[in-house]
Amino acid sequence: MATIRGYLHRTPDTGHRTPDTGRWEPGAERDAERAPVFGLSPEWLLRDGAPIATTTVLSHPEQLTRLRHACPPAARTAVLAGDPCFDRLLAALPHRDSFRRALGVSTGQRLVVVNSTWGPRSLFGDADDVLPRLLESITRELPVDAYRRCAVLHPNIWHGHGPGQVRAWLRRAEQAGLTVVPPLGPWRQVLAAADAVIGDHGSVTYYAAAIGTPVLLGAFPEADLDPASPVAELGRTAPRLRPYEPLLPQLDELLVRHHPDRHAQLTALASSSPGSSAALLRRTFYGLMGLAEPSAPAYLPRLLDPTYGDLPSDIPPASPLLTPLQVLTHLRDHRPAALPEIAVTRHADGLGATAHPAPAPEPEPTAPPASPPTAAPTTPQALPHTTSHPGAHTAVHEDVPDGTRLALADLVLHDSRPEPAAWTREAMRRHRHCAMAACVTAPDTCLVRLPDGRLVTLTAAPGPDGHRDLCDPAVYASALYAWYERGKPVEELLDGLVVATGGTRHHLQVTITPSC
């Protein structure tokens, strides 16, 4: 049902498809032979002049109007039954926070979804190469701890090019933190969880706008669309990506200027009977079979949280960042009034930092965050004092594809090693130029070896909601590096440390183990 919202002609095979070159002229009547509407034209619906289908299910009266114009013989088979996909999305919206946690989106992070339909003028196939520039911007401009990034691609892209080729095109972006949702993956949950969608004229982008999510159009071929269709209306109301300008200001502008009712007309056109498609479809199907409906209410299966299991419909967890990270730090020592605080901003591939200064001090929260009570400082101060120090270093995962990049590392990283303490010792020996080695040992814990051989365990306290901290624990190691680099004793952190990144403060417990 979603596929007939507004496309012009595409050949019915499932391989490479190209939109018809027929164009619309303002004020002119559509030439049905030259530009038939995808899914509504006689070539799709008739055989020997008679309707192929006994029933043609439509989601909205506007489709019926266009069907009567494009293929009158098929109009008598039409049944309005809403849109089950849209209904499942609507029912899922109250579970948005749960989806976000399952996708690894922490408090304060923004989830940006890149979406493309298929075809040469889609975002993925755009002849102007918008997508490569967009992936570069997403990789290099957006701080990796402030933004979670996902890509949702039409199944025909995977089918037409093959999973190996698609993965090859996206591999560099994946190494910098992009999560690619499998073709049978939970794209609806990702859409419900998104803060913004960068897309094109496909149904997924349309659904995003219809549920009130800010949408930025990276590609939009007006000539391929019926100007009376809902998708064409999306093109008239959604802002356009400016591919040659920095992305981060455009995202900020999109989110600041967005109003939940901006696409209210698209919401109204998504379904004639929101929430009722299960009942309408079952009534239609049982009527076709000549059977009485079951007595139990009709319903659509609820969208469940994405999981990290082995099922093909599950989305993979965020993979380790396998690209060098330029880390900007800003130390704020508020003792004895409060714990030391270190702001950390990480940019993939070390290039984002050139356009963004070191993070400025963030305003204190209006109310103290829920966290374990702060112990008194071990070294009393006569008067409260605050010092502020900016800094920068490079952190590199030991499995970085280009091993020569390890020579840049001030901090070498790894994750989930079976013997993390032994790995840190070996890593310090292998990479004698680096100052520290850190291994993520749990979703909220990092083990760091100092130059003098001591081990420091950094563990985040649960958040105010009682959930485990979702920050990448490698951030904690960068905060410790910033503290140690300034010549400050790590013993001064035994009362705790606050790491600010991605718009959130993370309260850490610090444990020191003698050299081993």
pLDDT category, 306, cuts 50, 70, 90? Answer: confident
- Unique residue bearing structure tokens 């920068």: 392
Quick one: tokens of 198?
């960068």
Q: What is the pLDDT of residue 511?
A: 96
Q: What is the pLDDT of residue 469?
A: 85
pLDDT category, 449, cuts 50, 70, 90? Answer: very high
Higher model confidence: residue 37 or residue 407?
407
Residue 398 has pLDDT above 60, yes or no: yes
Higher model confidence: residue 187 or residue 359?
187
The string of pLDDT tens digits covering residues 280-298 is 999 999 999 999 999 999 9
The string of pLDDT tens digits covering residues 48-105 is 999 999 999 999 999 999 899 989 999 999 999 999 999 999 999 999 999 999 898 9
Residue 359 has pLDDT above 80, yes or no: no
Q: What is the pLDDT of residue 86?
A: 96
Among 151-160, 290-299, 459-468, which stretch is predicted with the lowest mean pLDDT? 459-468
User: Would you give the DSSP letter of residue 407?
Assistant: G
Q: What is the pLDDT of residue 314?
A: 57
Average the pLDDT over 25-40 and give the result. Answer: 50
Helices (H) and strands (E) counted in the chain, each on its own, are 16, 18
Q: What is the pLDDT of residue 368?
A: 35
Q: How many angstroms separate the CA atoms of 393 and 36, rounded?
A: 58
pTM: 0.82
**Average confidence score pLDDT of the chain:** 84
Higher model confidence: residue 452 or residue 4?
452
Q: What is the pLDDT of residue 92?
A: 95
pLDDT category, 367, cuts 50, 70, 90? Answer: very low
Higher model confidence: residue 17 or residue 405?
405
Average the pLDDT over 300-311 and give the result. Answer: 73
Q: Cite the beta strand spans of 299-403 per DSSP E.
A: 325-333, 341-348, 387-397
3-state secondary structure 257-285: HCCCCCCHHHHHHHCCCCCCHHHHHHHHH
Q: Contact at 8 Å (CB) between 326 and 351?
A: yes
The string of pLDDT tens digits covering residues 120-135 is 899 998 767 888 899 9
pLDDT category, 106, cuts 50, 70, 90? Answer: confident
Q: Contact at 8 Å (CB) between 122 and 315?
A: no
Among 11-20, 236-245, 383-392, 425-434, which stretch is predicted with the lowest mean pLDDT? 11-20
Residue 110 has pLDDT above 80, yes or no: yes
pLDDT category, 388, cuts 50, 70, 90? Answer: low
Closest by CA to 427, choosing from 405, 456, 404, 397, is: 397
Share of the chain above pLDDT 70, in %: 82
The string of pLDDT tens digits covering residues 468-491 is 888 999 999 999 999 999 999 999
Residue 261 has pLDDT above 90, yes or no: no
Amino acid at site 416: S
Higher model confidence: residue 333 or residue 423?
423
pLDDT category, 320, cuts 50, 70, 90? Answer: confident
235-238 — which CB contacts under 8 Å span 24+ positions? 235/201, 237/209, 237/262, 237/263, 237/265, 237/266, 238/209, 238/263
Helix (H) / strand (E) containing 500? strand 497-501
Q: What is the pLDDT of residue 227?
A: 86
Radius of gyration of the chain (CA): 27
Q: What is the pLDDT of residue 40?
A: 83
Q: What is the pLDDT of residue 207?
A: 96
Q: What is the pLDDT of residue 145?
A: 93
